[in-house]
Structure formats: structure tokens, C-alpha cells
Amino acid sequence: MNSKAVLNIVVALHCEAKAIISYFHLKKMSIVNHIELAFPIFTNHNQSIYLIISGVGKVKTASATTYLFMLTGCHKQSVFLNYGIAGSLEFSCGQSVLANKICDASTQRKWFPFVNLLKNMRQSVLITHDRPQLTYPSAGMLDMEGAAFFHIASTFVTSEQIQVLKIISDNSEQDQAQLNEESVHRHIINNIPEIEKVVQYLLNLSQTELNNQFISEWITEFQAKWHFTFSQRIQLKEYLRRWKIRLNYSPMEVFANEINSKNVIKKLINLLEENEVSTP
């Protein structure tokens, strides 16, 4: 099992990516396992954040999302973020907005990201089209990537592990024709605090998912070796959760010689107390 949180970021354009590449000190990857990469991909020093530049459109976005998940190890605790520009009449240019509902305009499929824990952030529906739109609905946002990204990412992980954040770049007052790389870059820079908030939320979620997977595996190992009553199983889960948070190594070898579940629980309590472990 992978031992760290992993965030996969999918961005359509380099001008949308370069501010985040700089802010998180991401470095470009060139060759992995002697194979040249099919997309521009960047990562930080401990490889907890990966960013891929997909190109514009649903097909490229779907391909890049799949490619990045495979490259980073296909881990179930992975989390995903798509950010980039979008058009909207509902919001002013430069504002960042979380997608709380995503619609594919051509297929009418819908997805619902879990945004309840990202408080105090603007939210709205995102409609993904196959080509640029010259008119806007009265509410919501328009883009060309979000639905494909969410569709593919949700085949790998749960919807709670995926977020789509859009920065409004054009509306009735700011025409698409006036957009250029510099203006897009400026919009992203101005929204780095909002992007970072979502990044940290997702990384924390990934770490929680990772911890839960470790604990689940440990519980399975313990129950295969000893019989635990219902109340003991509740204790075991809680003590192993505390063990993972504080001691962070596999406990199985420590308990290998215990003869029954009662002794296991007693030893868990003693070792946690010896290490001054308290429930956070």
C-alpha cells in the first residue's frame, strides 16, 4: 500500500498551471521507468502532489486523468482536483467557484461533488460543453473539461475524493476574445489562497483515507489470528486508530505471541499508555 497522501491535479492549459507549479514548487517529470511521458506532468519533492496538463476538451481531459491515476499508482486513497477558467453570468470575473453539480451538456449526465465541508466558498452548477459557447445561462458556469474529469475520476475513487474549482474568466462584460495567457495567469494567481484551501482539504482527506485503509487491514489480520467479542472489536478499532496516528508502524509483530484477544487488548492499552498516547 502507498504510504502517503496523493493529490492528482488535472489542468487544461499551461497558463492555468504555471502559478500553482511555482507556488507548490513542482518540478517537471520527464521519464518514468525509461518511458517518456505522454503529457506534461509536475510533482513536488515528496510526490504528494501531481499536476498534469491535459489540453482543452473532454477527450484530452479524460485521457489525462486516467494517465495520471495510473502513473501515481492507482491508489484508492488518491484524491483529485480539476481547476481552471470558466464562463459565467452569475459571478464576476476573477471569482473562484466550487462545482456542487456537474452536467454534461451533450449526454445530460449529472454528478454531485461533496462540497459540504468546504465552507465559505462560492458554489454553483458547472455545465461542460463540447465546444466554446458564445452565450451564457443566467446561472451556473460553463467549461469544456469538468464533466469528463469527474466522470473518469469517479470510476477510480468515491465522489467525496474529487473536487472541481473554476475561476471565472469571461461573461457578458469580459468577452472570451479578450482572454490571453497573461490574464488567465493573473486570475489564477489571485485565487491561489482558494486553490490552496481545496488542495489542503483534499490532502487531509487522502491521509485520512490512507489511515483508514491501514487500520482496516490491521483489524483483518488481528481477527484472523484471535477471536474478538463485539465489544472487543469496538475497542480494537479505536486502539488501532490511535496506534496509527501516534506510532505509525504495523503492530502485528508486537502482538504475535499473545495467546488470546483479552491479552491483545490489554497489551494495546499498556503500550499506548507507555507512549503517552491519548485520543486526539
SS (H, E, C) 204-255: HHHHHHHHHHHHHHHHHHHHHHCCCCHHHHHHHHHHHHHHHHHCCCCCHHHH
pLDDT of residue 89: 94
Q: Give the three cell numbers for residue 220.
A: 483483518
Q: Name the pLDDT band for 110 (thresholds 50, 70, 90).
A: very high
- In this predicted structure, the answer to whether residue 278 has a pLDDT above a threshold of 50 is no
- In this predicted structure, the answer to whether residue 277 has a pLDDT above a threshold of 50 is no
- In this predicted structure, the answer to whether residue 187 has a pLDDT above a threshold of 50 is yes
User: How far is residue 277's CA from residue 240's CA, in Å, rounded to a whole number?
Assistant: 12
pLDDT of residue 134: 84
- In this predicted structure, the answer to whether residue 137 has a pLDDT above a threshold of 50 is yes
CATH class given for the domain over 7-207: alpha beta
**Residue with grid cell 481531459, as numbered in its chain:** 61
- Mean pLDDT throughout 87-92? 94
pLDDT of residue 3: 65
Using alpha carbons, select from 189, 169, 179, 181 the residue that is nearest to residue 22. Answer: 189
Per-residue exposure over 230-259, b if at least 16 CB sit within 10 Å of its own CB, e if not = eebeebbbebbbbbbeeeeeebeeebeebe
pTM over 0.85: no
* pLDDT above 70 as % of the chain: 96
User: How far is residue 91's CA from residue 225's CA, in Å, rounded to a whole number?
Assistant: 58
pLDDT of residue 245: 65
Look at 126-135, 211-220, 254-263 and tell me which has the smallest mean pLDDT: 211-220
80 or 178: which carries more pLDDT confidence? 80
Sign of CA dihedral 165, 158, 242, 247: negative
Q: Name the pLDDT band for 86 (thresholds 50, 70, 90).
A: very high
- In this predicted structure, the answer to whether residue 70 has a pLDDT above a threshold of 60 is yes
- In this predicted structure, the answer to whether residue 100 has a pLDDT above a threshold of 70 is yes
